[in-house]
Amino acid sequence: MSINRSTHAIRWGIILTVAWAILVLSSFTPPQASAHQRGTSVVVLKESGAGKAPERAVEDLGGRVVREIPLVRGFSARVPRSALHALRGARGIMSVHRDRRYVLRSTSDVAPAVASTTLGVLTDTVGAAGSGGEGTDVALVDSGVTPVGSLAGRVINGPDFSDDARVDELRNLDAFGHGTHLAGIVAAIAPDARIVNVKVADSDGSTSLGRLLAGIDWVARHGDDRRLNVRVLNLAFGAESEGSYRDDPIAFAAERAWQQGLVVVASAGNGGAEADGLDSPAHDPYLVAVGALDSGATATLADDAVAPFSSRGSASRAPDVVAPGTAILSARVAGSFLDEAFPAARIGDGFRGSGTSQAAAVVSGVAARLVADRPNLDPDEVKALLRAGAHRLPGTDTSLQGAGVVDAAASEALAVPRRTEQRFPLARLGGWLRGGVGNQFAVENLKGSRWSGSRWSGSRWSGSRWSGSRWSGSRWSGSRWSGSRWSGSRWSSVDW
């Protein structure tokens, strides 16, 4: 009996010792956060006159402000998931939008090589031979720009909003390959212009709503800082639109940049003739929306047609112009994501790609030439000249080609058309993001804002697609990443 009692006491002693050890060890082990405690990224838009109350609300709820985005009167933040409902109801907050990330999905079924559109042929096709663009800067909000080849000495780095900014070897540089390809096109069309690099996408091609807004915001607010003279903003991305441009935050930001004196050039999208409208932000009628032309790798227009992947416009909004966008041989970033994913697209030191991204880069270069020749042009006048100088393709519907194929020489030779000021309903932010009524963004300060001559005076976000390359939940404008999805056509390599 005494032996049993002793054994019992020993067992309980062991149990208590183990329990104590577990208790002590647990005090040194960080607890796992619950789903409600984990932070989530959001974009917060503020009501007029809210001051810093929304930022204080974020902090009071255990979150932190990541970045101010004054252009849209908002900011990005990290907040506990459990605080989202309370944040939406906080004083001074108009809307709260999840800042979802988008990650590239790619395939590698690259079709056999066909004739490339060299940069020399490209400039001849759009009448942009010779010098042009002097004193003008073109901003690319994209995946970064690596100053390879002829880009050396011509790139000015703006901010890097990507995660790559934390790595010295990647900061500002294009480890993805998209932005550099477009920069090479802009530099060929406007050889005397400079490229301002605003990086918003990581080396794997991922970005977010907040980063895109921040990139547009920075260009609009700092494009005339110190030694900069940004007059053209290239936006080679877009979301499939499910509603009016007036309720689209990206379109709203791009339109504000336009009203502040920037010629904003956006890719129409790669949805093809079956698309039911242009991608965002190209669907905003104030901007210059660009579709892609299949030029057949020749400088003559006789064999040209709108590329099958170029998005068809709607009854209310067609592309403004089209420009070459198939099999464009431009700058290559050796070892980049695209370079490794699509080795068949490498041709010497160049890389070949297709899409409305490339077409938008062409038009951005042409716009830079126009404002360099006539610095007093405002964005509406530049758009009018681009359209007036374009050549229509016979037998092609306006919903696909707009005014036709852009022609730099023809536009440069024209007088500014009369009645160039655009008077469309202004974009706003409100109802869709919050689900309420009457939360329209104040835009009274934009009305009548015009270019002063030297410095400026003055959709619904579906998250489903970004025009171009496939993302998880979206598509990046300029590429479907199918190599040549239209095998049997005249182009191949990477179709952006």
Percentage with pLDDT > 90 across the chain:
67
Band (pLDDT 50/70/90 cuts) for residue 238 is: confident
CB 237 within 8 A of CB 361: no
CB 45 within 8 A of CB 94: yes
Task: Give the C-alpha separation, 392 to 408, whole Å.
Answer: 14
Token pair, residue 128, equals 């942009």
Q: Say which residues have a Cβ less than 8 Å from residue 461's Cβ, sequence separation at least 6.
A: 97, 209, 239, 248, 249, 250, 280, 432, 433
Task: Give the C-alpha separation, 43 to 209, whole Å.
Answer: 8
Q: Does one domain contain both 90 and 206?
A: no
Domain membership of residue 134 (yes or no) is yes
Query: In this predicted structure, what is the pLDDT of residue 92?
Result: 96
Q: Does one domain contain both 90 and 227?
A: no
CB 327 within 8 A of CB 361: no
Residue 293 has pLDDT above 50, yes or no: yes
Residue 307 has pLDDT above 90, yes or no: yes
Comparing 57-61, 273-277, 321-325, which segment has the lowest mean pLDDT? 273-277
Q: Please enumerate, as own/partner, the contacts of 312-315 that have beta carbons within 8 Å and a separation of 24 or more.
A: 312/271, 312/272, 312/273, 312/274, 312/275, 312/276, 312/277, 312/397, 312/399, 312/400, 313/268, 313/277, 313/278, 313/289, 313/398, 313/399, 313/400, 313/402, 314/276, 314/277, 314/278, 314/283, 314/399, 315/399
pLDDT in tens, 187-223: 999 999 999 999 999 998 889 999 999 999 999 999 9
Residue 494 has pLDDT above 60, yes or no: no
pLDDT in tens, 435-490: 222 222 222 222 233 233 222 222 222 222 333 333 333 344 443 332 333 322 33
Residue 139 has pLDDT above 60, yes or no: yes
Q: Does one domain contain both 115 and 218?
A: yes
Q: How many residues does the chain have?
A: 496
Query: In this predicted structure, what is the pLDDT of residue 368?
Result: 98
Band (pLDDT 50/70/90 cuts) for residue 434 is: very low
Strand stretches in 106-241, DSSP E: 137-142, 155-160, 194-199, 207-208, 230-235, 239-241
Query: In this predicted structure, what is the pLDDT of residue 248?
Result: 86
Q: Does one domain contain both 439 and 489?
A: yes
Query: In this predicted structure, what is the pLDDT of residue 103?
Result: 53
**What integer is the mean pLDDT of 33-45?**
72
Domain boundary among 47, 78, 99: 99
Looking at residue 117, the DSSP 8-state letter turns out to be: B
Query: In this predicted structure, what is the pLDDT of residue 241?
Result: 65
Domain membership of residue 9 (yes or no) is no
Q: Does one domain contain both 375 and 417?
A: yes
Residue 3 has pLDDT above 50, yes or no: no
Residue 56 has pLDDT above 50, yes or no: yes
Domain membership of residue 54 (yes or no) is yes
Query: In this predicted structure, what is the pLDDT of residue 237?
Result: 86
Q: Does one domain contain both 110 and 94?
A: no
Q: CATH number for the domain including 78?
A: 3.30.70.80
**What integer is the mean pLDDT of 347-375?**
96
Q: Does one domain contain both 117 and 93?
A: no
- Kindly give the interhelix angle for 356-373 and 178-189, rounded to the nearest 10 degrees: 40
Task: Give the C-alpha separation, 355 to 191, whole Å.
Answer: 22
Q: Does one domain contain both 131 and 234?
A: yes
Q: Does one domain contain both 325 and 414?
A: yes
Domain boundary among 84, 99, 114: 99
Q: What range does the domain containing 278 cover? A: 104-443+453-495
Domain membership of residue 431 (yes or no) is yes
User: What is residue 124's three-state secondary structure?
Assistant: helix
**What integer is the mean pLDDT of 112-121?**
82
pLDDT in tens, 375-405: 999 999 999 999 999 999 999 999 999 999 9
Domain membership of residue 206 (yes or no) is yes
What's the distance, CA 179 to chain centroid?
A: 10
Band (pLDDT 50/70/90 cuts) for residue 419 is: confident
User: What is residue 199's three-state secondary structure?
Assistant: strand
Q: Say which residues have a Cβ less than 8 Å from residue 488's Cβ, sequence separation at least 6.
A: 111
Count the domains in the chain.
2
Domain membership of residue 333 (yes or no) is yes
Domain boundary among 72, 99, 126: 99
Q: Does one domain contain both 250 and 153?
A: yes
Q: Does one domain contain both 56 and 157?
A: no
**What integer is the mean pLDDT of 341-368?**
94
Q: Does one domain contain both 93 and 120?
A: no
Domain membership of residue 323 (yes or no) is yes
Token pair, residue 236, equals 């080679």
Comparing 166-175, 234-243, 456-465, which segment has the lowest mean pLDDT? 456-465
Domain membership of residue 121 (yes or no) is yes
User: What is residue 184's three-state secondary structure?
Assistant: helix
What single letter denotes the amino acid at residue 434? R
- Mean pLDDT, the chain, integer: 80
Instruction: Sort 287 into a burial class: Cβ within 10 Å, 0-12 / 13-18 / 19+.
Output: buried
Band (pLDDT 50/70/90 cuts) for residue 224 is: very high
pLDDT: which is higher, 20 or 43: 43
Instruction: Give 97-108 as a DSSP string.
Output: EE--EE-EE---
Task: Give the C-alpha separation, 76 to 214, whole Å.
Answer: 9
Q: CATH number for the domain including 217?
A: 3.40.50.200
